[in-house]
């Protein structure tokens, strides 16, 4: 039994942009404009295989965080696919924008996993 949800979080205003229940874009309102960007959300999916999607049209002016959360007590593997059209304007390289390095990304994922295991001890406690 798995129920993985996807959220987009506005770091500046501490607001859920996309959240099945509490977001500006949600199951009740699947398309909305926020800070000049149109967000379209597929909605909360609870059937295996779970597929949730969000499409953005426009240019983000600030950082947003992507959060994945598994509501079930069973372990789950989430696969994230993303695509973007670039950074505009790009007078200077924004924080976090680097050429993808698989080794660095894998190392970060392992460190995060070790941190969670150390702090929580078990899937149930996490």
Q: Are residues 58 and 100 in the same domain?
A: no
Residue 55 lies in a domain: yes
Q: What is the mean pLDDT of residues 50-66?
A: 88
pTM over 0.75: no
| CA terminus-to-terminus distance, the chain | 17
| pLDDT for residue 87 is more than 70 | no
Q: Are residues 72 and 110 in the same domain?
A: no
Enter the tokens of residue 59.
């240019």
Residue 115 lies in a domain: yes
What digits encode the pLDDT tens for the residues 46-57? Answer: 877 888 899 999
- Domains contained in the chain, number: 2
Strand order in the sheet with 64-70: 15-18, 4-10, 64-70
Q: Are residues 16 and 70 in the same domain?
A: yes
Confidence of residue 19 (pLDDT cuts 50, 70, 90): very high
Q: Which pLDDT does position 59 carry in this prediction? A: 86
Residue 91 lies in a domain: no
Domain containing residue 34: 4-86
User: In terms of Cα–Cα distance, which of 48, 57, 49, 105 is closest to 83?
Assistant: 57
CB burial of residue 19 (10 Å; 0-12, 13-18, 19+): buried
Q: Which residues contact 68 (CB under 8 A, 6 or more apart)?
A: 4, 5, 6, 7, 78, 80
Q: Are residues 101 and 60 in the same domain?
A: no
- What is the maximum alpha-carbon separation in the chain? 47
Confidence of residue 105 (pLDDT cuts 50, 70, 90): confident
């Amino acid at each position: 039994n798995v129920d993985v949800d996807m959220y987009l979080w506005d770091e500046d205003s501490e607001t859920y942009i996309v959240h099945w229940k509490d977001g500006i874009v949600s199951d009740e309102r699947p398309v909305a404009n926020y800070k000049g960007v149109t967000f379209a959300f597929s909605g909360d999916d609870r059937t295996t295989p779970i597929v949730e999607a969000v499409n953005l049209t426009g240019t983000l002016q600030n950082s947003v965080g992507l959060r994945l959360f598994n509501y079930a007590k069973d372990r789950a593997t989430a696969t994230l696919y993303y695509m973007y059209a670039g950074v505009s304007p790009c007078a200077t390289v924004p924080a976090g924008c680097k050429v993808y390095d698989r080794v660095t990304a894998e190392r970060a994922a392992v460190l995060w996993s070790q941190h969670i295991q150390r702090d929580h001890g078990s899937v149930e406690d996490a």
